[in-house]
C-alpha cells in the first residue's frame, strides 16, 4: 500500500479531530455532571431514562394529589370534631333541662343556650376551606349549603362527592356532603330540627319526660352519624398515608435508577479526560513530526 502525502495529512488531522471531539465530550460531561448528554451517547440507557422519568413524574403527581386530599380531609376531620363537640354540649344541656327543680325561667335560659349551640352548629355546617369553598356543599362548593337561622335543616348543596386520583387504579373521596353529615329532613337524625324543637319546648318554660327522651334520642342519632362520617374520614386519611409511603419508596427507587443511568462517575471521567489529553498531545506531536518528512530529507543524508 502506497502512502501519499495527502493521506498522511488526512490521517493526522482525523486523529487530532477524534481526540479533540472526545476531549470536548468529557469536558461537557464534567461541567454538566451527567454521563448522558444526548441519546446517541447510550441509546439503550436513554430509552430507559425516558421511561423511568415518565413513571417518576406520574408518581410525583399522585403524591401532589395525596397532599391535596390530605389537606382537605384533615380540615374536614377537624370540623367534624367540632361538630361532635357542639352536639355533645347540646346533649348535656338537654339532660340538664330534665332537672325537676328548674323554674320556667331556668328552662328559658337553657333554651337561649341551645340557640347559641344552634348558631355555632350552623356556622360549622357552612365551613369553608382556604380557597373559600364550602366543605359540605358537594359539587356546589361555591353555594352556602345551610342558610336558615332557625328551624329544620334546609340543604342547598348537592350529593356530589369530589375525588382525586392517588394511584393508577385508586381514587379517593375528599369531601362529605351536608346531607350525609347533618341528615336534614331525616326524622330522628336531623340535628337542626332536633335542636329547634327542643329550643321551642324549653322556651315555653316546661318540658315533658317524653319530649326530653325524644330529643336525647335524636341527638344521640345525630352524634353517632357525625362520628360515623368522621371514622370514614379517618380511614381515608390512613389510606392516604399508606399510599404516600408506597409512592415515596417508588420515587426513591426511580431516582436511584435514574442516577445510575445518567450521573457521571467523576473518577472515571477525569481519568478518561487525562488519557484523552495525553492522546491528543501525542497525535499533535506525531502529526507535526510526520508532516515535516519528505523523500528529499532522506536523499540529502
Pair 207, 243: CB distance under 8 Å: no
- The DSSP H or E segment spanning 232 is helix 209-262
Q: How confident is the model at residue 47 (pLDDT cuts 50, 70, 90)?
A: confident
Mean pLDDT (whole number) for 204-216: 96
Cβ count within 10 A of residue 93 = 19
Q: How confident is the model at residue 283 (pLDDT cuts 50, 70, 90)?
A: low
- The DSSP H or E segment spanning 170 is strand 170-173
| Assigned C-alpha cell, 126 | 357552612
Given a cut of 90, whether residue 5 has pLDDT beyond it is no
DSSP assignment of 43-109 equals: HHHHHHHHHHHHHHHHHHHHHHHHHHHHHHHHHHHHHHHHHHHHHHHHHHHHHHTT-TT--HHHHHH
pLDDT score, position 171: 97
pLDDT score, position 97: 96
Pair 213, 188: CB distance under 8 Å: no
Cβ count within 10 A of residue 52 = 18
Mean pLDDT (whole number) for 46-69: 92
CA atoms within 13 A on the CB side of 37: 12
Q: Please tell me the pTM assigned to this model.
A: 0.76
Q: Strand, helix or coil at 160?
A: coil
C-alpha span between 116 and 51 (Å, rounded): 59
> CATH classification of 52-258 is 1.20.1330.10, yes or no?
yes
C-alpha span between 36 and 193 (Å, rounded): 69
Mean pLDDT (whole number) for 249-270: 76
Q: Of residues 284 and 217, which shows the higher confidence score?
A: 217
pLDDT tens digits for range 167-205: 999 999 999 999 999 988 787 789 999 999 999 999 999
Backbone angles phi and psi of 163, in degrees to 5? -140, 160
Integer angstrom CA distances of residue 95 from 6, 102, 194, 217, 253: 111, 12, 14, 11, 59
Pair 140, 214: CB distance under 8 Å: no
pLDDT score, position 261: 75
Q: Of residues 267 and 82, which shows the higher confidence score?
A: 82
pLDDT score, position 270: 60
Q: Where do the structural domains in the chain lie, given as residue ranges?
A: 1-29+266-301, 52-258
> Which range (30-39, 119-128, 153-162) has the least confidence?
30-39
Mean pLDDT (whole number) for 51-69: 96
pLDDT tens digits for range 86-124: 999 999 999 999 999 999 999 999 999 999 999 999 999
Amino acid at each position: 500500500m502506497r502512502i501519499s502525502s495527502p493521506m498522511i495529512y488526512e490521517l493526522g488531522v482525523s486523529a487530532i479531530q477524534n481526540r479533540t471531539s472526545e476531549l470536548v465530550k468529557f469536558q461537557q460531561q464534567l461541567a454538566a455532571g451527567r454521563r448522558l448528554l444526548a441519546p446517541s451517547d447510550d441509546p439503550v440507557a436513554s430509552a430507559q431514562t425516558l421511561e423511568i422519568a415518565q413513571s417518576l413524574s406520574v408518581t410525583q403527581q399522585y403524591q401532589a394529589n395525596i397532599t391535596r386530599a390530605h389537606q382537605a380531609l384533615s380540615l374536614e376531620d377537624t370540623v367534624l370534631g367540632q361538630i361532635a363537640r357542639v352536639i355533645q354540649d347540646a346533649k348535656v344541656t338537654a339532660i340538664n333541662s330534665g332537672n325537676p327543680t328548674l323554674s320556667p325561667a331556668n328552662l328559658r335560659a337553657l333554651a337561649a343556650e341551645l340557640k347559641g349551640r344552634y348558631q355555632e352548629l350552623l356556622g360549622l355546617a357552612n365551613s369553608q376551606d382556604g380557597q373559600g369553598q364550602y366543605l359540605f356543599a358537594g359539587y356546589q362548593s361555591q353555594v352556602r349549603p345551610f342558610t336558615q337561622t332557625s328551624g329544620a335543616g334546609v340543604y342547598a348543596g348537592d350529593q356530589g362527592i369530589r375525588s382525586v386520583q392517588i394511584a393508577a387504579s385508586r381514587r379517593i373521596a375528599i369531601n362529605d356532603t351536608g346531607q350525609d353529615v347533618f341528615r336534614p329532613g331525616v326524622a330522628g337524625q336531623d340535628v337542626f330540627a332536633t335542636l329547634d324543637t327542643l329550643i321551642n319546648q324549653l322556651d315555653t318554660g316546661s318540658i315533658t319526660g317524653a319530649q326530653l327522651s325524644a330529643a336525647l334520642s335524636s341527638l344521640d342519632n345525630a352524634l353517632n352519624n357525625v362520628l360515623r362520617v368522621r371514622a370514614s374520614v379517618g380511614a381515608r386519611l390512613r389510606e392516604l398515608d399508606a399510599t404516600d409511603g408506597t409512592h415515596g419508596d417508588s420515587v426513591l427507587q426511580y431516582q436511584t435508577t435514574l442516577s445510575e443511568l445518567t450521573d457521571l462517575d467523576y473518577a472515571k471521567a477525569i481519568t478518561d479526560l487525562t488519557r484523552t489529553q495525553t492522546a491528543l498531545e501525542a497525535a499533535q506531536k506525531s502529526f507535526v513530526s510526520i508532516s515535516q518528512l519528505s523523500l528529499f530529507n532522506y536523499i540529502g543524508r
